[in-house]
């Protein structure tokens, strides 16, 4: 799964990433960067395509289906299994029509050891930024205002990640990013082929301090290797 992640770089690096990979030149000034412990319920930096160009903005992490009758009584979904996107009513419309990418440079996962959970930080070996595959939704409240939310898609863990957890977030390749954001592509079978475990030779991980267990802790210490 994916319950916490990071954008631990400075604003200039985010701007360069968006410009080089998505032709986005204008970054909203309300983004707080760097982030070392992003948690569900928070607004996260997301990319969509409006049919003409790529756009960046904030989506709330915790998917609320568009047909929801009461937002406050609805379970907000932080992860969606790639295998059920085309069949679950909560996700099917967004899978076809409302796909997004979520930018990150690492994420956390907890390994169960006896009765304890040990936190690990997972990143790319090249230490560069990347994107998660996501879905977004627009929910209209009774007062007419809209709530924009998203979920991160997960898949079966690769061999590197398997000892930590059986599932992992879908990290997109550059080719997959372009296809995923294209709103004109609605072929479910073809889209499903993009949602694969990331190659193990491009990933790395290490144990980190238990301070990351508390989402209020937002310091560089969260991503430092734990002292043995």
Residue 100 bears catalytic tag:
no
- Three-state secondary structure call for residue 85: coil
Burial of 199 (0-12, 13-18, 19+ CB in 10 A): exposed
pLDDT at 68: 82
The verdict on whether 222 is a catalytic residue reads no
Q: How do residues 125-177 score in pLDDT, each as one tens digit?
A: 999 999 999 999 998 888 888 899 999 999 999 998 999 999 999 999 999 99
Active-site residue identified among 2, 100, 150, 222:
2
pLDDT of residue 26: 83
The model carries a pTM of 0.96
Does the pLDDT value for residue 217 go beyond 70?
yes
% residues pLDDT > 90 (the chain): 85
Listed in sequence order, the residues at least 6 apart from 111 whose beta carbon sits closer than 8 Å to its beta carbon are: 117, 118, 120, 163, 164, 165
Burial (CB count <10 Å: 0-12, 13-18, 19+), residue 223: buried
Domains for the chain: give ranges and CATH numbers. Answer: 4-223 (3.90.1680.10)
Q: pLDDT at position 31, please?
A: 86
Please tell me which residue in 13, 20, 83, 109 is annotated as part of the active site.
109
Output phi, psi for 190, to 5 deg. Answer: -70, -40
Residue 28 buriedness (CB in 10 A; 0-12 / 13-18 / 19+): exposed
């Amino acid at each position: 799964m994916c319950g916490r992640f990071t954008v631990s770089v400075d604003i200039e690096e985010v701007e360069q990433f968006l410009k080089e990979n998505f032709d986005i030149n204008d970054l909203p000034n309300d983004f707080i960067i760097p982030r070392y412990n992003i948690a569900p319920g928070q607004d996260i930096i997301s990319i969509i395509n409006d049919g003409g160009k790529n756009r960046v903005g904030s989506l709330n992490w915790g998917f609320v289906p568009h047909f929801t009758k009461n937002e406050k009584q609805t379970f907000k979904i932080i992860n969606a299994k790639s295998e059920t996107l085309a069949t679950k009513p909560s996700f099917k419309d967004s899978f076809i029509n409302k796909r997004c990418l979520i930018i990150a440079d690492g994420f956390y996962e907890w390994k169960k050891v006896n009765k304890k959970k040990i936190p690990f930080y997972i990143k790319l070996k090249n230490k560069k930024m990347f994107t998660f595959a996501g879905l977004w939704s627009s929910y209209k409240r009774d007062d007419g205002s809209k709530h924009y939310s998203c979920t991160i898609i997960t898949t079966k863990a690769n061999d590197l990640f398997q000892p930590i957890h059986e599932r992992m977030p879908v990290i997109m390749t550059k080719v997959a990013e372009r296809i995923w954001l294209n709103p004109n592509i609605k072929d479910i079978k073809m889209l499903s082929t993009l949602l694969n475990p990331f190659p193990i030779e491009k990933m790395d991980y290490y144990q980190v301090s238990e301070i990351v267990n508390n989402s209020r802790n937002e310091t560089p210490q969260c991503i430092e290797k734990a002292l043995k």
